[in-house]
Copies of this chain bind each other. A is one copy, B any other.
Amino acid sequence: MKAFHDLTELPTPSLILDRSRLLRNVARMQARAQALKVQLRPHLKTAKSARVAELAHNGTKGPVTVSTLAEAAYFARHGFRDITYAVPIGPQKLDQVAALMRAGGDPASVDLKIITDHPAVAQAIADKGRELGVAFRVLIKIDCGLGRAGIPPDSDLLLPLAGILAGDPAQPGSRLAGVLTHAGHSYNATGIAEIERIAEEERLAAVTAATRLRAAGFACDIVSVGSTPTALFAKSLDGVTEMRPGNYVFFDLFQAALGTCRMEDVAVSVLAAVVAHHPGRNHFLIDAGGLALSKDTGANKHAPGTGYGRVCRPGDALPLPGLSVYDVHQEHGLVGGPLTPDGKQAEPVDFAGHAPGSRLRVLPNHVCMTGAMYDRYFVIDPARNSGQPGGGPEIVAEWDRVNGW
Contact = CB atoms under 8 A, between A and B. Distances in A.
B277 A118 contact: yes
Find the residue from A92, A147, A148, A375 having the highest chain B CB count within 10 A: A92
Contacts of A118: 275-277, 356
B12 A89 contact: no
A92 B369 contact: no
A148 B296 CA distance: 20
Bin the interface of chain A by size.
35 or more
Contact of A404 (B87, B184, B285, B374): B374
Most buried by B among A116, A285, A404: A404
Given A120-B356, A404-B374, A88 B275 contact: yes
A355 B67 contact: no
A11 interface: yes
Interface in A124-183: 124, 141, 147-149
A174 to B, nearest CB: 15
Interface stretch (A54-62, A75-83, A229-237, A287-295): A287-295
B404 A373 contact: yes
How many monomers of this chain does the complex have? 2
A67 to B, nearest CB: 5
Interface in A69-117: 87-93, 96, 116-117
Contact of A296 (B89, B121, B290, B334): B290
Given A274-B90, A356-B118, A405-B292, A369 B330 contact: yes
Contact of A369 (B124, B278, B295): B295
A357 interface: yes
A276 B117 contact: yes
Contacts of A14: 405
26 contacts: A11-B96, A11-B405, A12-B93, A45-B330, A45-B331, A68-B331, A87-B275, A87-B332, A88-B276, A90-B273, A90-B274, A90-B356, A92-B273, A117-B278, A118-B275, A118-B277, A118-B356, A121-B276, A121-B357, A124-B357, A149-B276, A149-B278, A292-B405, A330-B368, A372-B373, A375-B404
Interface of A: 11-14, 45, 67-68, 87-93, 96, 116-118, 120-121, 124, 141, 147-149, 184, 273-278, 281, 285, 287, 290-292, 294-296, 327, 329-332, 334, 355-357, 359, 368-369, 372-375, 403-405
User: 8 tightest A-B contacts by CB?
Assistant: A91-B357, A88-B275, A90-B273, A90-B275, A88-B276, A67-B331, A121-B356, A295-B295
